Amino acid sequence: MKKLIVSLVLVVLVTIASLGWSISEFASFYDKDDEQTNPANQLAALTLMGTGLAKTLDNHPLQSQTFLASWNQHNIEQLSLMGSAEFILPLPLKAKFNADKFLMLESDEGISLHYLLPSTDQVLNINTLLVTEADSGLNLNRLYTMLFYLGVVLILLLWVSPLIRRLINLSQVTQAFGMGDLQQRIAVSKTSYIGAIEAEFNRMADRIQQLLDDNKLLSRAVSHDLKTPIARLRFGIEALEETQNPELKTKYFQRVNRDLDTMEDLVMTLLSYARLGQGDIPLERTDIALNAWLQNKLLESDDAEHQLEFLPLPHEVTVNVDPKYLSMQINNLLSNALRFSRSKVQVSLMVQDEVLWIHVDDDGQGIDELEALQVVKPFVRGKHSRGNMGHGMGLAIVERIGLWMGSKLHISRAPELGGARLSLSFESHSI
Model confidence over 182-236: pLDDT tens digits? 888 888 887 777 788 888 889 888 888 877 877 776 676 666 666 777 777 888 8
Lowest model confidence (mean pLDDT) among 3-7, 281-285, 339-343 = 3-7
Specify the DSSP class assigned to residue 375.
Answer: T
User: Which pLDDT score, from 0 to 100, does residue 424 have?
Assistant: 93
Alpha-carbon Rg of the chain, whole angstroms? 49
Interatomic CA distance for residues 2 and 10, integer angstroms: 12
Interatomic CA distance for residues 350 and 313, integer angstroms: 7
pLDDT band, very low/low/confident/very high, at 307 (cuts 50, 70, 90): confident
pLDDT band, very low/low/confident/very high, at 115 (cuts 50, 70, 90): very high
Looking at mean pLDDT, say which of 20-24, 209-213, 400-404 comes out highest: 400-404
pTM score:
0.51
Interatomic CA distance for residues 399 and 407, integer angstroms: 9
Nearest by Cα to 124 from 56, 225, 70, 216: 56
The Cβ-side half-sphere exposure at 303, using a 13 Å CA radius, reads: 19
User: Which pLDDT score, from 0 to 100, does residue 305 have?
Assistant: 78
User: Which pLDDT score, from 0 to 100, does residue 148 have?
Assistant: 75
The mean of the pLDDT values for the chain is 80
Strands 318-321 and 344-352: unpaired
Interatomic CA distance for residues 388 and 200, integer angstroms: 41
Interatomic CA distance for residues 380 and 374, integer angstroms: 7
Interatomic CA distance for residues 12 and 8, integer angstroms: 6
194-277: what fold?
Helix Hairpins (1.10.287)
Evaluate whether the domain defined by 286-430 bears CATH number 3.30.565.10. yes
pLDDT tens-place string over residues 83-113:
888 888 888 888 898 898 999 988 888 889 9
Residues 6+ apart with CB under 8 A from 226: 263, 266
CA angle 148, 154, 158 (to 5 degrees): 145
User: Which pLDDT score, from 0 to 100, does residue 263 have?
Assistant: 77
**Is the model more confident about 133 or about 303?**
303
Question: What are the CA-CA distances from residue 209 to residues 95, 180, 181, 406 (Å)?
Answer: 97, 10, 10, 21
pLDDT tens-place string over residues 61-80:
777 888 888 888 888 888 99
Alpha helices in 108-194 (DSSP H): 136-178
Question: Does the structure show a pLDDT above 80 at 166?
Answer: yes
Question: Does the structure show a pLDDT above 90 at 4?
Answer: no
Percent of the chain with pLDDT over 90: 9
Question: Does the structure show a pLDDT above 90 at 119?
Answer: no
Judged by DSSP in three states, 404 sits in: helix
Mean pLDDT to the nearest integer, 355-384: 82
User: Which pLDDT score, from 0 to 100, does residue 114 have?
Assistant: 92
User: Which pLDDT score, from 0 to 100, does residue 28 have?
Assistant: 67
Looking at mean pLDDT, say which of 61-70, 158-167, 340-349 comes out highest: 340-349
Nearest by Cα to 229 from 179, 264, 281, 253: 264
Question: Does the structure show a pLDDT above 90 at 422?
Answer: yes
